[in-house]
Structure 1
Amino acid sequence: MRAAARVVAAADGDRTALVVLKGEAPLLPRRTGPNEVHFVGGAAGPLGGDELRIEIEVGAGAVLHVRTVAASIALPGRDGAWSRLAVHASVAAGGTLVWLPEPLVAAARCRHRAESTVDLEPGATLVWREELVRGRHGEPSGEVELSTTVRRGGRPFHRSDLVLDDSPAVLGGARVFATLVTTKEIDLKIPEIMPLAAGGTLVTALGRELAETRAITDRLVTPPQ
């Protein structure tokens, strides 16, 4: 399956207008609040072999919060084929993007790549959270490759690459992995928080349950307006 979605938010006075809101199953965006969009899955997956793409554009002065209504479950396909989700977002000066999808669950025998690229103009605000659960209840994890690149003003702001499977070599006994990268500077002295060299903050949390990691990142996120 190949599917794409595109969301474009622009300032309209003191409101945010969604000038483009379109997608194909399983990437179906729906406006759910003044500054909020939820993606509603129209099909199972991603399945091995699927190629999915999301494009997000936030204009100057616009505020956009993006969520999903449910977790995504990466499922195995035929002949060990990889599935792929590519997300590209751009945020203009004075714009704000908050990306808070439900977690990705790596089902047994899946092979999935998630690639995120964010381009920020100087003065843009970003909160970008990604969560991974290694396997459904009682099953081992499949293979997942996570790649996240954030640029600000055309220069590197943050880059991370992570390859995970059912081996404990990377995360030890942790079942849930969560990261949050933000242009905001967070003045909390806890081990999970690391200031970024270009400004902003990286939060990394590990745990056996989703609630453990989400409790750390939830309090750092400004709620939708």
Structure 2
Amino acid sequence: MTGRAAVAAHARIVAAPGGALPVLAGDGPLAVRRTRADDPSFSQVTLVGAMSAPLGGDRIELTVELLPGAALRVTSAAATIALPGRDPVPARYRITLRVGAGAVLHWMPEPLISAAGSELRQLTRVELAPTARLLLRESVVLGRADEEPGRLASRLTVVRDGRPLLDQELRCGPDAPGWDGGAVLDGNRAVGQLLVVDPALDGQQAAPRLLGEGAVCAPLAGPATLTSAVAPDALALHRALANA
């Protein structure tokens, strides 16, 4: 358990066409750094942990806005580890992603690790223009090596053109009913998803398909597909999502 006091912090990224990043600001546990993208048509920002976070009581907020026509890839330098802290109340991490007309966002952070004794409530909200495109990967590892996970509630809400496209929540750890049963993780300790939203998919409602053991790709009610996967560890999970 860390001895530092709880913190409140807000980081903000604004991307514009032509690779410009007119706003790149972070404080507290979130540092944001411009890094080199493999694809020169994208600008790239890497999230760097400046201190251990999120801890009990922390209030962390990240806002990413893509102006019309921008292309941005967001990664992280390492996994995010939710840890217990001095404050007994849950940590809260709010992520807001706004993608303007004709813009493209690749949201590809490293996994979130829910350490024993921690309690985190994470909310990710995505707001898409009708012609925006999105590639979003989320992955969670429940507990570090040989430990049980903390309490985790992670919700993903995606709105396209003002209408709901996806709204789901995962609760794991102590007091979360059935999270480790056969209908949810079935003994696995890594869970993730890959969401693709692309106007080019409009009208192409393919049937759901298996991508191997523990992974399935399904169309959504819109120009989007969602791949969901469970695996024994983070490496196997990323392999499953990469196959999508």
- TM-score for the superposition, normalised by structure 2: 0.85
Which residue, out of 177, 188, 196, partners 1:182?
196
In structure 2, which of residues 226, 229, 242 is the aligned counterpart of residue 202 of structure 1?
226
Q: Please give the alpha-carbon distance, in whole angstroms, between the structure 1 residues aligned to 2:67 and 2:242.
A: 25
Task: Provide, for residues 192-215 of structure 1, a one-character-per-residue CA deviation record: whole Å limited to 9, x for no partner.
Answer: 101001221011010001122111
Q: CA deviation at 1:77?
A: 2.1
Per-residue deviation at 1:218?
A: 2.5
Q: Where do residues 1-225 of structure 1 align in structure 2 (5 Å cutoff)?
A: 1-11=7-17, 15-34=18-37, 35-78=43-86, 80-165=88-173, 168-169=180-181, 170-184=184-198, 185=201, 189-190=209-210, 192-220=216-244
Q: Kindly report structure 1 stretches of 4+ aligned residues shifted beyond 3 Å.
A: 184-189
**2:241 corresponds to which letter in structure 1?**
T
Compared with structure 1, are the counterparts of its residues 57 and 202 closer, same or farther at alpha carbon in structure 2 (3 Å cutoff)?
A: same
The answer as to whether partners of 2:197 and 2:224 remain within 8 angstroms in 1 is yes
Say whether the 8 Å CA contact 2:111–2:140 is kept in structure 1. yes
Please say if residues 84 and 118 of structure 2, whose CA atoms lie closer than 8 Å, have aligned partners that are also in contact. yes
Name the TM-score, length of structure 1 as normaliser. Answer: 0.91
Residue 109 (structure 1) shift: 1.1
Query: Which string of whole-angstrom CA distances, capped at 9 and with x for unpartnered residues, describes residues 32-85 of structure 1?
Result: 025110011100121100000000000111100001100011001235320011
**Residue segments in structure 1 that go unaligned for 5+ positions in a row:** 221-225
Determine helix, strand or coil for the equivalent of 1:122: coil
Return the letter of the residue paired with 1:28: A
- Tell me the distance in 2 between the aligned counterparts of 1:79 and 1:40: 24
What do residues 94-125 of structure 1 show as CA deviations (whole Å, max 9, x unaligned)? 00011111101000011001100010011100
In the alignment of these two chains, the number of paired residues is 217
Bigger Cα displacement from structure 2, 59-68 vs 180-189? 180-189
Gaps in structure 2 of 5+ consecutive residues? 1-6, 38-42
Identity of aligned residues (%): 37
> 2:195, 2:168 → 1: CA distance?
10
RMSD in angstroms over aligned alpha carbons? 1.6
CA contact (8 A) 2:57 2:87 kept: no
In 2, Cα distance between equivalents of 1:38 and 1:87: 15
Higher strand fraction (1 or 2): 1
CA contact (8 A) 2:189 2:230 kept: yes
Q: In the alignment, residue 29 of structure 1 is paired with which amino acid?
A: V
